[in-house]
A and B are shown apart, each in its own frame.
Chain A
Amino acid sequence: MNWQAARAMLLSEARLLSRNPGVVIWTAVLPVVASIVLGAIPAIRKPSDDMGGLSFFQVYQPILVFFAITLLAMQALPDVLTRYREMGVLKRLRTTPVSPGLLLFAQLVLILSVAIVCMLLMVVVPPIVGAPWPQNPVGFVVSYLLGAWAMLGLGMVIASLFHNAKVAAGFGSFLFFVLQFFAGLWVQRPTMPDWMRHVSDITPSGAAVQALTDSATGDWPRVLHLVVMVVWGAVMSRLAVRFFTWE
């Protein structure tokens, strides 16, 4: 890889992102503020039988952590990539000695970085106001990274299948709500009917949220959930590489 070009591309994309901060702010502020507020209210930190013995905070922190990466991967990523394709930026890069893949790489790095900063804020700030730390940090980080891989892969597939930026954004929004449903944003996983929870187990968002929850409460993520995330990540990456086009 041409490191000089990779560095220049990453800087350039970061600068462009800082000039259009709307998407990132919108994505980051809601879940970060929500998790800090939830962590600060003592009643929400008490375990509840309705939530399978977990506190409201313990149920919602992983959902909110995953909310940010899902939103970035379903909306920001396909939006910017399909627009670059429409504008002919990717095709123009093809005429140079570097591959347009370098631009995809820069975007993935940037979006993952923003997501990780959001995740850190949601993990580090609530303990300052009295909420618990994740009890198994290694499990938490591994679960987060595998879940992020599956989400970014899915975002790349959207950018591969849809060539119109507006259509891609619309489909991304739809998928975001489906994923958030199975992650338990509206019906929390412990309160889902069994059949629904089984479906949720094999979705990338359901598996990721459960793996994060298990890690936060001191357990190791279950093998099922790790396998589900790896399969989604691998299949989506493969599809994206196969179907992504520069024009």
Chain B
Amino acid sequence: MGRNGPGLHGTVIAVIEVSHLRKSYGERVVVDDVSFTVEQGEIFGVLGPNGAGKTTMVECVGGLRARDGGSIRVAGMDPAEESVAFRSALGIQLQESRLPDKMSVDEALQLYASFYPDPHESGDLLERLGLVEQRKTYFAKLSGGQKQRLSVALALIGRPRVAILDELTTGLDPVARREVWDLLENLRDTGVTLLLVSHFMEEAERLCDRVIVIDHGRIIAADTPEGLAANVQADQRMSFVPSSTFDVALLEALPDVRAVTTSGERVVVTGTDNVASAVIIGLHERGIAVSRLRVDQPSLDDAFVALTSEEQR
């Protein structure tokens, strides 16, 4: 996963700066002291379980919701002022936002293009988004993936410097989800900065340069997706079929092993990073060979579950 992070270009320009952001609805604190910066050209992921406060947080950044405290700058502007310059610099793809059933793809793009001073050529955007054949199609007749791609197109039509995409692939089938991901990967070279809200770890792993994990309105982790997965204290898990039976206590005695279970002829061992080599060497010394070996790396999914369940305790 080669990232052309902003560090490679030498200069680092913060496009989004959020510091000590707070937002509550009545007594309930939804966003609690959230701070982060997003650099020019990054794809920045905001992860978290449902109801963690992600949408409220990005709606504050997008100037759709008034914050209670802290400061936000997007391309140097305060979203709370809701200025025309701010609205032109930031495109937002909202969760569950539809268009009139009988509005065609072309008509929607032309209409939204008329709102901006220097919009994209709608033909270029349609081509990039793979919607050329649907230009005359009514919104109601589009597939779920096509609707989402159109929604992204509307968020990008005004040539924003920053785009916020909220739960873009929720409710899409795996094929449509991949279509949208391909599209976002292509957008990387246009230099647009993307703030991607998601609860799909696979999505973040594939697209994001950096992520923050939010739970109960607070940031509980901030790292690259790889860093997050690597740092997590999740066990490594291996399974194999031994060449002959042996006493599992033999493995349990090894310092790197935490637990041993058997399922049919397969033996499943969990433990530290070194568990795989420790087990193979240990068995080899006793003349037992290992076949059909599988070792699972802790993924971002594991990291996410570990992080958010730690929070619950």
Contact = CB atoms under 8 A, between A and B. Distances in A.
Contacts of B117: 97
Interface in B124-170: 154-155, 158
A89 B151 CA distance: 11
Interface string B24-64: 00000000000000000000000000000000000000101
Contacts of B92: 95
B112 interface: yes
Interface string A10-33: 001001100110000000000000
A149 to B, nearest CB: 27
B97 A97 contact: no
Contacts of A95: 62, 64, 87, 90-92, 94, 155
A2 B90 CA distance: 19
Nearest to A86: B98
A12 B102 contact: no
Contacts of B102: 16, 19-20
Interface stretch (B103-111, B212-220, B253-261): B103-111
Given A88-B97, A91-B94, A97-B84, A8 B114 contact: yes
A97 B112 CA distance: 10
Interface residues of B, number: 27
B99 interface: yes
A98 B158 CA distance: 12
A95 B62 CA distance: 8
B171 interface: no
A94 interface: yes
Interface centre among B100, B103, B107, B116 (most CB of A within 10 A): B100
Nearest to B116: A97
B239 interface: no
Interface in A83-109: 84, 87-89, 91-92, 94-98
A124 interface: no
A42 to B, nearest CB: 45
B88 interface: yes
A91 B103 CA distance: 17
Contacts of B296: none
Contact of B112 (A4, A15, A91, A96): A96
A155 B37 CA distance: 45
Contacts of B246: none
A96 B99 contact: no
Interface in B69-110: 84, 87-88, 90-92, 94, 96-100, 102-103, 107, 110
Size class of the A contact interface (CB-based, 8 Å)? 20 to 34
Given A94-B64, A95-B64, A97-B116, A87 B99 contact: yes
B272 to A, nearest CB: 48
A98 B154 contact: no
A77 to B, nearest CB: 16
A141 interface: no
Contact of A4 (B62, B91, B114, B158): B114
Nearest to B90: A95
A107 B211 CA distance: 42
B103 A12 contact: yes
B97 A92 contact: yes
A13 B159 CA distance: 25
B98 A87 contact: yes
By Cβ-Cβ distance, the 7 closest A-B pairs, closest first, are: A88-B97, A8-B114, A95-B92, A97-B87, A87-B98, A19-B102, A97-B84
7 contacts: A7-B114, A12-B103, A19-B102, A20-B102, A87-B98, A89-B98, A92-B154
Given A16-B100, A92-B154, 20 more contacts: A2-B115, A5-B114, A7-B114, A9-B111, A9-B114, A16-B102, A88-B94, A88-B97, A89-B97, A89-B100, A95-B62, A95-B87, A95-B91, A95-B94, A96-B115, A96-B158, A97-B84, A97-B88, A97-B115, A98-B115
Interface of B: 62, 64, 84, 87-88, 90-92, 94, 96-100, 102-103, 107, 110-112, 114-117, 154-155, 158
